[in-house]
Amino acid sequence: MASSPSQGPSGAELAGLGVMLAAAFVAPMVLGVVLDGVLRTSPLFVFVGLALGIVAAVAVVYVRYVRRYW
């Protein structure tokens, strides 16, 4: 007997995921811009924020989607 396909995420869960992705990506970038402005180290902290944002976005997708639905 074949297993039934699992239910995917609802629209509200996907909208929440989008908000979390945006926050996880944008917050470190903004913090990097602010730190670069204060410390006059442009673009060092922007790149650090970019790397942290990418890592955080991947972690959010993994925790909120991959672990739950796969």
Please check whether residue 52 is in contact with residue 35, taking contact to mean a CB–CB distance below 8 angstroms. Answer: no
Q: What is the pTM of this model?
A: 0.76
Residue 59 has a pLDDT of 92
Long-range pairs for 7-12: beta carbons < 8 A, 24 or more residues apart: 8/69, 9/65, 9/68, 9/69
Residue 3 has a pLDDT of 56
For each of the chain's 70 residues, which pLDDT tens digit applies? 555 566 888 899 889 989 999 998 899 999 999 999 999 998 999 999 999 999 999 998 898 888 777 7
Residue 5 has a pLDDT of 62
C-alpha–C-alpha distance, residues 64 and 69, integer Å: 9
Residue bearing tokens 């970038």: 29
What type of residue is 18?
G
Please check whether residue 20 is in contact with residue 64, taking contact to mean a CB–CB distance below 8 angstroms. Answer: yes
